[in-house]
Each structure stands twice: as C-alpha cells, then as structure tokens.
Amino acid sequence: MTEATGSLVVGVPRETLSGERRVAIVPAGVTALTRAGLSVVIESGAGNEAGFLDESYTNIGATIVGSRAELFQQTDIILQVRACGANLERGSEDESRLKPGQIIIAHCEPLAEAASLQQIAGKNVTVFALEMLPRITRAQSMDVLSSMATIAGYKAVLIAANTLPRMFPMMMTAAGTITPSKVLVVGAGVAGLQAIASAKRLGAVVHAYDIRAEVKEQVESLGGKFVELELESQDSSSTGGYAKQMDEEFYRKQRELMARVVAECDVVITTAAIPGKTAPILVTAEMVEGMQPGSVIVDLAAERGGNCELTRADETIVEHGVTIVGPVNLPATIPLHASEMYSRNITTFLLNIIKEGQLDIDLSDEIVHDTLMTRDGDVVNARVREILNLPTIDLPMTDETSDESSGQESIGQEQNETDQPVVEDDAMEDDPVVSEDEGYPLRTGEEGNASDADSDSETGSDKNEAGEKNQ
C-alpha cells in the first residue's frame, strides 16, 4: 500500500517470455483501477511493443518505474499476461522478487505446470489463474481464453491465406475463372468460429467439423458448411457446452471418416486442445499424404502437441508437398488489440475482488473459488493438488458461503471430472459476442446480458458475426 493514501498498489511488469508482445493493462485499464481507489505502477517499456508508450500511462495517473525489482517491492497485486508455468523460460527469475502476501493474477498453466505453483505457494503468495474461470454469465467479461482465441482464429486464416499458393476467393477475369479455395475448420469453438467467419470474408468455401452436432446451426449462420460424419457422439457435450475428450476408438473412426474430407480441401485449420493434456491427433501423416501438393495445415493446438501428427510447435515444415504451420502464442502477434481485450478481462476480474478499495477474497464467489490456486503458503485448488499427488484439504470458507459452495473439500474440486473439456486454442467453446457498452468479447451459453453490437474494429466485427449464432 502507498503510505500517503493507504491504497492498494497494482503493478504491471514487462512480459519476459520471448515473443510475448502483449501488456497486461492498457491505459484505459489504469483509469478503471484508479477510479476504484487503486494506485498503478508500470515497469518502463511494458507496453511499448503493444503500442502503449510510458507517456500514455503517466498521462492518466500511473507511475513508471525503471527497475523490475522496484516494481515488485512497491506493489501488492501483480498483473501479468504470463506468470508461473505460463513462462517457463524466465518466470522463475521473478520468484526472488516476490514478497509474502503478494497477489499474482495471470495466465499460469496450472494443469500443465502444477509444480510451478507449488514453488510460488512456498513464498506465501496468492495466485489466481485466469484460465480456470468458470463458465457462468458473470464471468464472461473476464474470459481471457475466449478473447485470445478470437484473435488466434482470425490470425490462423491470415497465415493460411499468406502461405497457400492460390487465392481464397473465386474471381472471373479476362484470363479465365479462378475457382475458390476450400477451407476446413476442425472445431467450432471460439477460435474455430472466428476462423470460419474470417475465411468466408476472404471468399473461400468453408467447411467445418465438430463432434458436437448441435453446433451445426452456429457454423451455418456464419456461411460455413457443416461436415457430418457417421459417428456415435450423443454424449460429446459436457456440462456448460464443452466438447468432451472421447476415447481412442472414437478418434480412430473419426480419422478414417475425415481422411476423404481433408483430401478435398486446400486449407485445414485445427483448433482442438485439452487443458493440461496433449492435444488429440485428428490429422494423421497418411491424411497429409493424401492432400494435394501446395495445401496448407495451420495447427492451433501446436503448443500442446498438435492436432496434426506431423506438427512441430513454432515451426513451418513441408511434408508430401503440404505446408504444416505450428504457430504458438498467436495473440502476441496482434499485440494492440490482444492487450486491449486482455486488459479489460483482467481489470474486470480484479475489480470483482476489490470492495471499497480493499481486497475482498470471498470464497463463496464461484469466480474466486475456481481461479484461486495458492493461498497461505499452500496449493488450494483440488485439480492441481491431485496432479501434485497432494492430499485434499478443508479450506475455510467465508461467513457468506452459499449452500452451493459449502461442503466442498477444496477449491476446484467440483471440476475434477474424468472427461476434460476440449477447448479451442486453450479457449472456451462458446462463441464470443460483443457487449454493447464495452465492445469486448463475451461468451454466450447462459442467460444474461450478452448482446450483439456493431464494432468498427476488425476483431470486433468478427466477434459480432460469430455471436449471431445464439441470438
């Protein structure tokens, strides 16, 4: 806290992962936090690569510090894009700078890199992992996964169009008619739906496949053609609209039926990933061999092993004349809009645990309950504790604990199911819509205040079109 005002101090350090160009808070986010009675400290240069210079922060009341160590020393709450297990490259360098009682809010990869949380817990630091947000209406404006998946789906189409040795749209010219390219999008979640909308705008003939037959209407509303395979997938959706992880026999049959569809397409964009687990193989080496030379595969699940058997993360390779692109961290390649969206999400999350300028960590709040990873020197999330082979714990709840939350042994226990959700590029499955007053992506799927609105931005207009499916 600042000695002069007694207000909580929020710190935003520069991201240290190679290629990470986003910043956790943009100037508009600083305004929202200062209005809530918080002070904001920014590490010098934190927003430069996203297009936000130091002056844009100081002009609205933030303080700039040149030393990272000084920032960590001054602040009560650290807001980052990537922390803990989400920055294995250099995240550990900040451990010595942390102080007891500090709070970190960021992407943390709690399921894939649980050990990193155990190390942080030993520092008596409280960690909130934003990728663990529950699928409820009230959490829509905090949903960083859907926001970033929107960008990933859009950028995947641009990569494919730039790599493909032919144009996307049909053209009638003096030299003859150019036939349109055929694009197949595998997975109709946030990233998939955005890819469908973007490819359709570029003039391609777009097909899409998802194991959940109920998304057919959503695909068709964007101009895509839904691919129906003769598979038994009645139980393919879990609670909240996620696609479930299926057994290997299902995936084997799926691959057999998809081989013919893939062979007919010029571009295949795959988006299926499983939190904390290796992505399922949907496109085999044999299927790649059956594609036409010059075809392109863009694998958005590359960071988790890839949906294509031949994918190599962060590499572009050519096999059997087919170019296979395995991009990682695509949101960082459009850092301005990605930062704006992320900033709105994380600011909304933080303000949810601030009451009258002070912290109010209410464990009866489902949002707090599901995202809280460490507290009081221990890992408190049940799914993470199970991964670490730690015993379950009884976590004291607040006096306001609701009947729905009471009786749970530890935070996140209710999410510990056999079937893990398949998500799009680490994203929530529902498509984004736009809040009329904010212009930021929200998820649909529950009754709430989400509604369509026009947006002048490229990402905003794409989100708006994708959002029509549930209107």
Provide the token pair at 369: 């309950």
| Residues 187/462, Cβ–Cβ less than 8 Å | no
Whole-angstrom distance, CA of residue 424 vs CA of residue 404: 29
Please tell me what DSSP assigns to residue 59: T
Tokens linked to 410: 């530890």
Which residue do the tokens 């997938």 mark?
A: 233
Burial of 177 from C-beta contacts in 10 A (0-12 / 13-18 / 19+)? exposed
Instruction: Using DSSP bridges, classify how beta strands 421-424 and 243-244 pair: parallel, antiparallel or unpaired.
Output: antiparallel
Say which of 135, 201, 344, 383 is annotated catalytic: 135
Q: Which residue of the set 57, 154, 242, 342 is catalytic?
A: 242
Residue type, 327: P
Bridge partners (DSSP) of residue 267 are 183, 296
Residue 135 annotated among the catalytic residues of the structure: yes
Task: Name the CA dihedral angle for 192, 243, 424, 312, rounded to a multiple of 10 degrees.
Answer: -110
- Marked catalytic residue, from 116, 118, 140, 221: 140
Could you give the 3-state DSSP secondary structure of residue 134?
Answer: coil
Q: Does the annotation count 426 as an active-site position? A: no
Residue of 102, 118, 146, 410 with catalytic role: 146
Helix (H, G, I), strand (E, B) or coil at 154: helix
433, 150 Cβ separation under 8 angstroms: no
C-alpha span between 112 and 316 (Å, rounded): 24
Give the three-class secondary structure for 366. Answer: helix
Q: How many CA atoms lie within 13 A of 461 on its CB side?
A: 5
Phi-psi region of 140 (alpha: psi -120 to 50; beta: other; left: phi over 0): alpha
Answer yes or no: 242 catalytic: yes
User: What span, in angstroms and rounded, lies between the C-alpha atoms of 62 and 81?
Assistant: 19
d(CA 141, CA 190): 15
What token pair was written down for 350? 């933080």
Active-site choice (22, 80, 141, 143): 143
Catalytic residue numbers, as ranges: 135, 140, 143, 146, 242
